[in-house]
Structure 1
Amino acid sequence: MEWSDSWRGAFRIELRAEAVNLAWHGWPVLPGTYPAGERWAGRDGVEDSGPVPVHHDWQERIGTKAEQVATWWAGHSYSILLATGHGVDAVEVSADLGRRAAVELRAAGIPVPIVATPEGRWMFLVASGGTPVTDPDVKHHGEGEYVPLPPSTGQVGVVHWRVKPQICAWHLPHVDVVRDALLQAADHTSAYGLVAADRS
């Protein structure tokens, strides 16, 4: 995506405010590379794909306090990356399956934070520690991984919230809640073969 200097400055302020807010609520956020024309800026050697953490030692920076997080976005429009496996995991699915699962969650009255990417992927944010969803059409992001959070930009659009974490008062559900919704959505469409967890 192409951005003017004025838009880049305004967007950097928005990114910093969101990153600080997430860190203040205990979410492990990190600065990531950001699009600059057809390349990714912010870290040498990884210009062809992104976003990735700008710090080589990013895993050692997990848990950084909000005050330090604010300084990371002081001069650059870094993407916001969530280090999964440290209180928050992400269950990634296609937009189609995500929409259907979101309907199931709404019907059950269970609010779950949901992130949508410009590439057509949805991510349901859940508490770390559960058994990962096991299916080729589902990607469970846990320890050692990271995902982009709003309002990070990509080459073709902006990452955005479908459901903000404020809706669930920042209390994340167990992964089984999302697994059940995905299974119900799959049953209604007969398009996916998700594997249910053994809870015996």
Structure 2
Amino acid sequence: MLDTDWSDSWRGAFGIELRAEAIGLASRGWPVLPGTCPAQGQDTPWFGPVPAHENWREQLGAHPHRIAEWWTGTQYSLLVATGIVLDAVEVDATVGKRAARLLRALGHPAPIVAMPNGRWLFLTKVAERVPAELVAHDGVHLHGEDGWIPLPPTPFQHGVVHWRVKPEVWGWQLPEADAVHEVLVRALDEEPEAALVAASRTAA
């Protein structure tokens, strides 16, 4: 849990980790940007980080040296813009776990992020189209053009964003959006057991 009991040394170490992750992602061409963090002693509801700078669109593609400057001495969360290098589909944890099992059954892992608010993010290449089932579903949030998502280890008030499946598992090659979307549609519409049987047959 994040609260005011964090020691200064712990906060410093956490800031260094955020800085290192931001530099690493930027060096791979991911459009990272600094985001807001929950304030110490904040009583108002926290709905997640947003870009820290109003002109964040103009800052995309900054050199890793510039990225390092942003995260030096300032507590920022780590965001990545969507609709440029990657997109993301956000679902609840129940659907997320079901989709993750389906992806494993198919032998096609995808980078997956879990947030402390119980939501999961499935990262893909930029999508040319999105199935109507995902667009129309109330529990699905699509992150595409002109959007952003938080990446680990971004802090929330009650926890830290973390990887369920790291990009290294995919060799840093993002999966095709269509393939992940198909699995998410299955996870939304089918009972878990039936979906897993269908995925196993597809893999075979």
Q: How does the TM-score come out when normalised to structure 2?
A: 0.85
- Determine which of 27, 36, 40 is the counterpart of 1:37: 40
Deviates most, 51-60 or 128-137: 128-137
SS state at 2:183 partner: helix
Q: Is 1:55 the equivalent of 2:53? A: yes
5+ residue gaps, structure 1, are 41-46, 191-200
Contact 1:38 1:155 in 2 (8 A): no
In the TM superposition, what whole-angstrom CA distance separates every residue of 1:10-41 from its partner, at most 9, and x where no partner exists?
Answer: 0000000000111111110101111222439x
Contact 2:38-2:46 within 8 A present in 1 as well: no
Find the counterpart in structure 2 of residue 17 from structure 1.
Answer: 20
Q: 1: CA distance between counterparts of 2:68 and 2:174? A: 24
The structure where helix makes up a greater share of residues is 2
Shift of 1:187: 4.0
Contact 2:89 2:140 in 1 (8 A): yes
Q: For residues 112 and 142 of structure 1, what CA distance do their matches in structure 2 show?
A: 17
Structure 1 vs Structure 2 CA RMSD: 1.9
Letter matched to residue 152 of structure 1: T
Residue 87 and residue 7 in structure 1: after superposition, are their counterparts in 2 closer, same or farther (change >3 A)?
Answer: same
Amino-acid identity (%): 53
- 4+ runs of 1 displaced by more than 3 Å? 47-50
Residue 9 of structure 2 aligns to a residue in which SS? helix
> C-alpha deviations, 1:142-198, integer Å up to 9, x for none?
1111111000100111000000111101111121111111122234328xxxxxxxx
Q: How has the CA–CA distance of structure 1 residues 105 and 50 changed in structure 2, closer, same or farther, with 3 Å as cutoff?
A: closer
TM-score, normalised relative to structure 1? 0.86
Which amino acid in the other structure matches residue 170 of structure 2?
A: C
Counterparts of 1:137 and 1:50, CA distance in 2: 17
Cα distance in 2 between the residues matched to 1:9 and 1:121: 27
